[in-house]
Amino acid sequence: MTTKRILIVTGELVPFHYGGIGTQFKSLTAFLKRQGHHVSLLAKRPDNYDETLYRAHYGETPLFFVDAPPIPLRMPPCFAYAAEVARRFDEIYPEMRPDLAICADFNAEGLFLLLRSGAGAYDNTEFLLTINGMNREVISVREGDGSGISAGIIDLPDIQSLLSMEDLCVHLAPKIVSPTVCAWEEVRRRLEIRKTVRIIPNLVDLTLFHLDKTGIGEEPGETPIRKETSPHDGLPARDQIRPGESEDPLILFVGRMDRMKGADLLLKAYFEIAQRTAPAVPRIVFIGRDCFWNEYGSTFLEYWKSRIPDSLAGAITFLGQVSHDAIRDYLKKATVAVFPSRWEPFGIVCLEAMAMGCPVVVSQETGLVEVLGPELAEFAVIVTEDVRPLVKKVLHILHLENRRYPDAEFNPDKSGLSEQLRKRALEVVRQAEEGWLDFLRDMDRKEKTESPAERLLCDPLHQLLASLEDSWRGVAHLQIYCRLRGGYRESDSVRVAYPRMRWKTLKIPLPAGTGEHPLRLDPADDRGSIRIREIVLLDEAGDEIWRADGANGFQGCSAGGNDAWSFRNGCLFIEAENDDPQMLLDCPATDRPAELSVTLYTGDA
């Protein structure tokens, strides 16, 4: 297998934002680097970014940021951000030229990249879309069943744009990876699409999630990004379990406090479990950020804080979001980890729990079932508003783990369960690793293919979306003046429009040549920042006559006014003080037809 340059596009960057996509891509980055590939990240810039913390997690992995674009009125934020991802990709592409670019389906961040690739751009790069769970399913589950709630939100114009963008990504993607058959079948049926996809499970970091890992607290150099204490008066918020503490049975939930993850179902089930186990009530810990619920009209914690019985106040803890290191320590201590999701494409934390040998209970008819596998299918239960099956299964686990909960209905031998869980987790991770290696080996064996029908679709669609993008980015104008009869006149100039806030190469024909020396170039028609990568003069045969770029320090270029000039990263930076920035080009004069090629970027980066 040849060494490859791989770029991963992600809106989530662990540990600054904890989520399934960020966790998966972090583990994938580490695995690909171990195989000797060169991996870079193109990520949304976190508000709480810290370089030292990033390096502690990713080492020397190159990181390129996508900053939130200026979004004008009437432009869906998702559209603007996807366009910004492509703009940033275009900016770094000349130096990177990745063999493979990976992006997720969620929020359609790779839409413009897929369109441009389908239209013939990026000849040397393969594009891969990963199925992580799309907004149509997420919103439908999160918003609940209240009358008019889900339908109203899904019908909002911005949401409709986002859903259509995500669906279009699936149609356009030349290669797709899904972590489970369940996740792909849901997308395939809904879109009525016929595509061959690879089923590759998500990876987890087995260097962190294993029983031999020691040490309680944060990962090297890491501090918790955000913590929340219990909203219930007197409820302790213990964010770490240390050796020697109480050996009371512990039920653990890890996930967002939203409807999709089913935190409410587990809390209701716990109330019944507490009744059936009193007075020796097990503790329960909820890890994950609080979320707003439409059906409650408040956040999860705000709603439930007045509904938790006082008798259980000391047994229930809400921690908020904690580090992966802290999650590992809780999984090591937990009696059972419960994942009662109403919908779930995969379930990374469930796999992490299994890797720690922690018994789990999961929802049937979700991707979690495929994580368990057939031999552990008994730990998947039907999870509905009727929580009795969930209660029954959790009590089963508690009985296996601790004999203080005798139950005549259950009397199996618990020995070997933890080892069976760890064995299954290792099997899933090996499947994931082999799946990715097979994919990369196939890249060596197969040439990039292109469907003529796809090309016919992508070209006009790309032009349509590019025109919409340009309309909100705004337009600048470059003007070239040929000096004739000792002066510069509008009648002897060529004016060209180009989009702001995007790198653009303009090729301006000069039918009558360059005129008298020197040639004048006005790169924009407004004050602000201008970056120029190169200026090249070509003759009528297309041969290069003259060049100014970072390699020669833009030799032959001089300012025609008082604008500030500087040179950084191989570019000429101009800070225009007025709406008429000018530069003079000391290029050879010719009266033969010529062409001037200018690569530039106008507007704040």
pLDDT confidence tier of residue 410, bands split at 50, 70 and 90: very low
Contact by Cβ (8 Å): 128, 100: yes
121-177 pLDDT per residue, tens: 898 899 999 999 999 888 888 766 544 344 457 777 788 889 989 999 999 999 999
Mean pLDDT of 227-237: 37
**How many other C-beta atoms are found inside a 10 Å radius of the C-beta of residue 384?**
14
Q: What's residue 455's pLDDT?
A: 57
> How far is Cα 501 from Cα 528, in angstroms, rounded to an integer?
11
Q: Which of 30-34, 270-274, 466-470, 503-507 has the lowest mean pLDDT?
A: 466-470
Is the confidence at residue 213, as pLDDT, over 70? no
Q: How confident is the model at residue 380 (pLDDT cuts 50, 70, 90)?
A: very high
Residue of 190 and 231 predicted with greater confidence: 190
Helix residue ranges, H only, 321-386: 324-333, 348-355, 368-372
Q: What percent of the chain has pLDDT over 90?
A: 62
In angstroms, rounded to a whole number, what is the distance separating the alpha carbons of residues 554 and 175?
Answer: 42
Buried-exposed string 16-40: b where 16+ CB fall within 10 A, e elsewhere: bbbbbbbbbbbbbbbbbbeeebbbb
For residues 162 and 76, the answer to whether their CB atoms sit within 8 Å is yes
What pLDDT digit, counting tens, does each position of 266-301 carry?
A: 999 999 999 999 888 999 999 999 999 988 889 999
438 three-state secondary structure = helix
pLDDT (mean) for 189-203: 92
Tell which residue, 60, 11, 12, 20, has the closest CA to residue 40.
60
Q: Which residue has the tokens 């490859």?
A: 4
The Cα–Cα gap between 499 and 111 comes to 19
Check: pTM over 0.85? Answer yes or no.
no
pLDDT score recorded for residue 212: 65
Least confident piece of the model among 63-72, 187-196, 585-594: 63-72
Q: Three-class SS of residue 107?
A: helix
% of the chain surpassing 70 pLDDT: 84
What are the tens digits of pLDDT across the range 493-539?
A: 999 988 888 888 999 999 999 999 899 999 999 889 999 999 999 99
More confident residue, 207 or 455: 207
Residue 215 · residue 363 · CB < 8 Å: no
Integer Cα distance of 368 and 344 in angstroms: 7
Helices in 246-361 by DSSP H: which ranges?
A: 263-277, 300-304, 324-333, 348-355
Q: What's the pLDDT band for 10 if we cut at 50, 70, 90?
A: very high
Domains of the chain: 5-174+448-468 (3.40.50), 250-424 (3.40.50.2000), 474-602 (2.60.40)
| Residue 72: per-residue pLDDT | 55
Residue 584 burial class via C-beta count within 10 angstroms: exposed 0-12, middle 13-18, buried 19 and up: middle
pLDDT confidence tier of residue 242, bands split at 50, 70 and 90: very low
> Alpha carbon of 558 to those of 292, 352, 366, 536, 565: distances in Å?
57, 60, 64, 15, 9
From residue 442, how far is each of 1, 2, 129, 437, 450 by CA, in Å?
9, 11, 16, 9, 16
Taking each helix axis from N to C terminus, what angle separates 135-142 and 157-172, rounded to the nearest 10 degrees?
Answer: 140
Write down the pLDDT at residue 313: 84
Torsion of CA 78, 81, 87, 89, to 10 degrees: -100
Per residue in 54-87, pLDDT (tens digit) is: 999 999 999 999 977 665 546 778 888 998 899 8
Give the model's pLDDT for residue 59.
94
Q: Cα dist. 380→185, 343, 376, 411, 458 in Å?
A: 20, 13, 8, 19, 43
How sure is the predictor about 411, in pLDDT bands with cuts at 50, 70 and 90? Answer: very low
- Give pLDDT, residue 17: 86
- What pLDDT is recorded for position 475? 86
pLDDT bracket for residue 451 (50, 70, 90): low
Run of H or E including 498: strand 493-499
How many C-beta neighbours within 10 Å does residue 290 have? Answer: 21
**What is the arithmetic mean of pLDDT over 3-30?**
94
The pLDDT score that the predictor gives to residue 233 is: 33
Over residues 198-214, the mean pLDDT reads 82
Name residue 318's beta-bridge partners: 286
Q: Which position has the token pair 């090729």?
A: 507
Q: Please tell me the distance from the alpha carbon of residue 349 to that of residue 322, in angstroms, as a whole number.
A: 13
- Is 472 a residue whose pLDDT tops 80? no
What average pLDDT is seen over the chain? 85
CB within 8 Å of 65: residues ≥ 6 apart: 42, 43, 44, 45, 88
